[in-house]
C-alpha cells in the first residue's frame, strides 16, 4: 500500500540503473507502455504494466483514499498522480528505503504541488492525520478509521502539513529541486543525480541556488535604491556634491 507502507528512514539519492523499485506491483525493469490511460506521464518508460494502470483505482493503496466516503473528482485526481508516481515512475528507486525497498522516504515535493493537493481535497473527509499510524488494521488487507471523519481543512493546516504529515516520512516539502508530478520532474531527477557525486548517502536537499540568486539580486537592487534616496535627501554620498 502506497499510503500505509510508503515510509521509513534515510532519504538519499541513489544512482539510477535499469531496474525498477523492488515492489510487488513493479516490473523488473522500465520499458515503454503506450497504453497507460491513467498514468500517461510515464508511458515512454514505465515500471508499471498497462494492467496495473487499468486497476489504479482499485489497487490496495487506494483503500486509504476513501475511508470517509468517495472523494471529489479533483481530490481523487491528485491521489492518482501520486499513485501513478509510486507504481509507474522509473525514478522511485532513488528514494527507496534500503531495508524495505517497497517503501519510499523523503521524496521532495514542491510547495506548489502540496498547495494544489490541499486545495483539491480541503472539503473532502479524512479520519486521521497520519495514515501510516492512525488507521486501525482490521485484517491483512484493510485498515479502518479509529476516529471520526473531518474535512482535510480541519485536519491539516496547509499543503505543507498535508504532504509532510499524511504519510509519515514519505514526503518532504521544498521550494526548488522538487517534484510536481509533471514532465518537469525528469529535469529535477537529473539535477539530483548529477549532484549526488555517486555517494549513496548524499544529502538530497540541494541548495535552492536559483531562488538565492534572485533574492541576492533584489537585495542589491534595494541597496542601490537606498543609496540614491539618501543622496537626494542630502544625507548620503551616492553623488558628488557641487558645493
190 with 119, same domain: the answer is: yes
Q: In the chain, pLDDT over 90 holds for what percent of residues?
A: 40
Pairing verdict, β 171-174 and 107-110: parallel
Q: Say what the pLDDT of residue 59 is.
A: 57
d(CA 196, CA 183): 21
72 and 160 share one domain: yes
Q: What is the mean pLDDT of the chain?
A: 75
The model's pTM is 0.72
Q: Which of 156, 22, 34, 40 is nearest to 102 (CA)?
A: 22
What is the residue range of 225's domain?
Answer: 208-243
Q: Rounded to whole angstroms, how far apart are CA atoms 115 and 184?
A: 17
Residues 153 and 233 both lie in one domain: no
**pLDDT number for residue 138:** 57
Q: Are residues 197 and 214 in the same domain?
A: no
Q: Which of 64-68, 186-190, 217-221 has the highest mean pLDDT?
A: 186-190
Confidence of residue 182 (pLDDT cuts 50, 70, 90): very high
152 with 39, same domain? yes
Between these two residues, 128 and 155, which has the higher pLDDT value? 155
Query: Do 166 and 179 lie in a common domain?
Result: yes
Residues 48 and 126 in one domain: yes
What pLDDT score was predicted for residue 198? 36
Highest mean pLDDT of the ranges 136-140, 152-156, 230-234: 152-156
Average confidence (pLDDT) over 143-165: 91
The more confident residue out of 70 and 62 is 70
Q: Higher model confidence: residue 243 or residue 64?
A: 64
66 vs 199: CA distance, rounded Å: 40
pLDDT of residue 154 exceeding 90, the answer is: yes
Task: Answer yes or no: do 115 and 13 share one domain.
Answer: yes
pLDDT at position 72, please?
94
Residue 236: pLDDT over 90 = no
Pair 72, 145 in one domain: yes
- Whether 134 and 218 share a structural domain: no
Residue 25 shares a structural domain with residue 141: yes
pLDDT exceeds 50 at position 160: yes
Same domain assignment for residues 131 and 104: yes
Structural domains in the chain (count): 2
Amino acid at each position: 500500500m502506497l499510503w500505509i507502507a510508503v515510509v521509513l528512514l534515510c532519504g538519499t539519492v541513489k544512482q539510477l540503473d535499469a531496474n525498477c523499485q523492488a515492489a510487488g506491483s513493479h516490473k523488473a525493469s522500465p520499458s515503454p507502455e503506450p497504453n497507460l490511460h491513467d498514468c500517461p506521464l510515464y508511458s515512454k518508460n514505465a515500471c508499471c504494466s498497462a494492467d496495473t494502470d487499468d486497476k489504479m483505482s482499485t489497487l490496495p493503496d487506494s483503500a486509504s483514499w476513501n475511508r470517509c466516503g468517495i472523494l471529489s473528482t479533483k481530490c481523487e485526481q491528485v491521489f492518482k498522480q501520486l499513485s501513478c508516481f509510486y507504481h509507474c515512475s522509473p525514478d522511485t528507486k532513488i528514494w527507496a528505503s534500503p531495508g524495505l525497498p517497497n517503501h519510499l522516504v523523503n521524496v521532495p515535493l514542491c510547495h506548489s504541488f502540496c498547495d494544489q493537493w490541499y486545495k483539491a481535497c480541503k472539503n473532502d473527509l479524512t479520519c486521521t492525520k497520519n495514515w501510516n499510524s492512525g488507521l486501525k488494521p482490521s485484517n491483512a488487507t484493510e485498515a479502518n478509521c479509529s476516529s471520526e471523519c473531518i474535512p482535510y481543512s480541519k485536519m491539516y493546516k496547509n499543503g505543507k502539513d498535508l504532504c509532510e504529515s499524511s504519510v509519515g516520512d514519505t514526503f518532504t516539502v521544498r521550494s526548488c529541486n522538487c517534484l510536481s508530478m509533471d514532465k518537469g520532474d525528469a529535469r529535477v531527477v537529473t539535477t539530483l543525480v548529477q549532484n549526488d557525486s555517486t555517494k549513496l548517502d548524499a544529502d538530497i536537499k540541494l541548495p535552492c541556488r536559483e531562488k538565492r540568486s534572485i533574492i541576492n539580486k533584489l537585495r542589491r537592487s534595494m541597496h542601490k535604491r537606498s543609496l540614491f534616496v539618501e543622496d537626494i535627501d542630502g544625507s548620503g554620498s551616492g553623488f558628488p556634491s557641487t558645493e
